[in-house]
Chains A and B, each alone.
Chain A
Amino acid sequence: MGVNMTGSFTSHVTDMHLEALLALLVEGPEEWLERYGETIKNENNVGYSLLIYHAFNEALRLRFSPTYTVPQIIRFVADLRLTLKEYAHELDPRVAESLIRYSLGDDAFTGRPPFGTDEVTVMRAQLLMLVALVSEEELDEAELVKLVKDSAALARNRGVVEQGQDSGV
């Protein structure tokens, strides 16, 4: 995982991360796996995870803004799992609902990531829902590029803020 030579985490979103996420959303998981799978798996950087987190948040807002209800979230997760058919168990419904409510800032929800599970389960839920959300919203390639670039800008800004806080600036 993203630990550098000094032993601290690196969370820098690179241009390769942007290209990889775009490849996933535009061309699909097989293309992503072939071109970026091994590189991202082996790299010393959690920037790609950070980018996915922000892209998921952006996509969520397309679907659940300006208002939403908990039943709508339950329905969204259930419908997505039904489309996964025999792979429905790959998306844990409690984790998926928790992720959505946490990301939307639901005041009535008190759970915090990773919601009593592991990071891999959370990441898988984010990815499955991100792909479903952009597909449901029928974003074209230009809109996907904008979503990914906006997400990268948010991720990079957050990195700067965190770095500033870490160094006492």
Chain B
Amino acid sequence: MPITDNQIATLRAQLAGRMDEHERLLDQLDTEESQTGYIALVTAAFFEAVDRRFIVNDKVVDDAEVIEFIAYQRSAHPVAAEQMDPTVAEQVVLHALGKGSISQDVDGETLLGTKILLLAALTAEADLSESELESFLAKARAEADEHIG
């Protein structure tokens, strides 16, 4: 089943920082199919955000840039510091860039939670305008549709 407008609205609310609306919409994704679709959308958005931030002039940046980004985000945001394991976060970003693998000890819930936190950090840093956010969501939607289709 293709990505729905409700799933897009749920992610849009989160990335725009409207957390009450995000949680209300997230509660409405109450079937296994809608949750699977939402995870696919978040994952596609995460990959798109990572590419935009860490691929410059068609070249993947050095690992140091990833270390620096995660350390900066965690030191600037105390909640993220506690919730985001730096080891896992670095592995997840580097893996998305085709460098290295994610430890088998990392469970699915931690993996998804880390991607959501990183996605929020990446989009906040990008400071997207409303139209840029729509364009970003459209790209993620197309990629997620391709993946689950």
Interface residues of A (CB under 8 A from B): 70-72, 74-75, 77-78, 81-82, 85-86, 88, 92-95, 97
Q: Are B68 and A93 in contact (CB under 8 A)?
A: no
Instruction: Out of A78, A85, A94, A95, name the residue touching B71 (CB < 8 Å).
Output: A78
A81–B76 alpha-carbon span in the complex (Å): 18
Whether A74 touches B87, Cβ cut-off 8 Å, given contacts A82-B64, A88-B63, A88-B64, is no
B81 CB contacts on chain A under 8 angstroms? 70-71, 74
Whole-angstrom distance between the Cβ of A119 and the nearest chain B Cβ? 17
B70 CB contacts on chain A under 8 angstroms? 78
Main secondary structure of the interface of A (DSSP, over half): helix
Q: Are A74 and B71 in contact (CB under 8 A)?
A: yes
Instruction: Out of A71, A72, A82, A97, name the residue touching B86 (CB < 8 Å).
Output: A97
Instruction: Out of B67, B74, B78, name the residue touching A82 (CB < 8 Å).
Output: B67
A88 CB contacts on chain B under 8 angstroms? 63-64, 67
Chain A, Cβ-Cβ closest to B64: A82
B68 CB contacts on chain A under 8 angstroms? 78, 82
B71 CB contacts on chain A under 8 angstroms? 74-75, 77-78, 93
- In the complex, whether B143 has a CB less than 8 A from a CB of chain A is no
Q: Are A78 and B87 in contact (CB under 8 A)?
A: no
Whole-angstrom distance between the Cβ of A157 and the nearest chain B Cβ? 34
Whether A70 touches B85, Cβ cut-off 8 Å, given contacts A75-B71, A78-B67, A78-B68, is no
A86–B64 alpha-carbon span in the complex (Å): 9
Whole-angstrom distance between the Cβ of B88 and the nearest chain A Cβ? 8
Whole-angstrom distance between the Cβ of A10 and the nearest chain B Cβ? 32
Chain A to chain B: the 8 pairs with minimum beta-carbon distance, closest first: A78-B71, A71-B75, A93-B86, A74-B75, A94-B87, A74-B74, A94-B85, A92-B87
A94–B71 alpha-carbon span in the complex (Å): 11
A77–B67 alpha-carbon span in the complex (Å): 10
Which of A75, A77, A93 is most buried by chain B, counting CB atoms within 10 A of its CB? A93
Whether A71 touches B76, Cβ cut-off 8 Å, given contacts A85-B64, A88-B67, is yes
Which of B68, B76, B86, B90 is most buried by chain A, counting CB atoms within 10 A of its CB? B86
A78 CB contacts on chain B under 8 angstroms? 67-68, 70-71, 75
A74 CB contacts on chain B under 8 angstroms? 71, 74-75, 81, 86
Residue interface mask B45-71, A partner, CB < 8 A = 1: 000000000000000000110011011
Whole-angstrom distance between the Cβ of B75 and the nearest chain A Cβ? 4
19 A-B residue pairs with Cβ-Cβ distance under 8 Å, sorted by A, are A70-B78, A71-B75, A71-B76, A71-B81, A72-B75, A74-B81, A82-B64, A82-B67, A82-B68, A85-B64, A88-B63, A88-B64, A93-B67, A93-B71, A93-B86, A94-B85, A94-B87, A94-B88, A95-B87
A81 CB contacts on chain B under 8 angstroms? 67
Instruction: Out of A71, A75, A82, A93, name the residue touching B87 (CB < 8 Å).
Output: A93
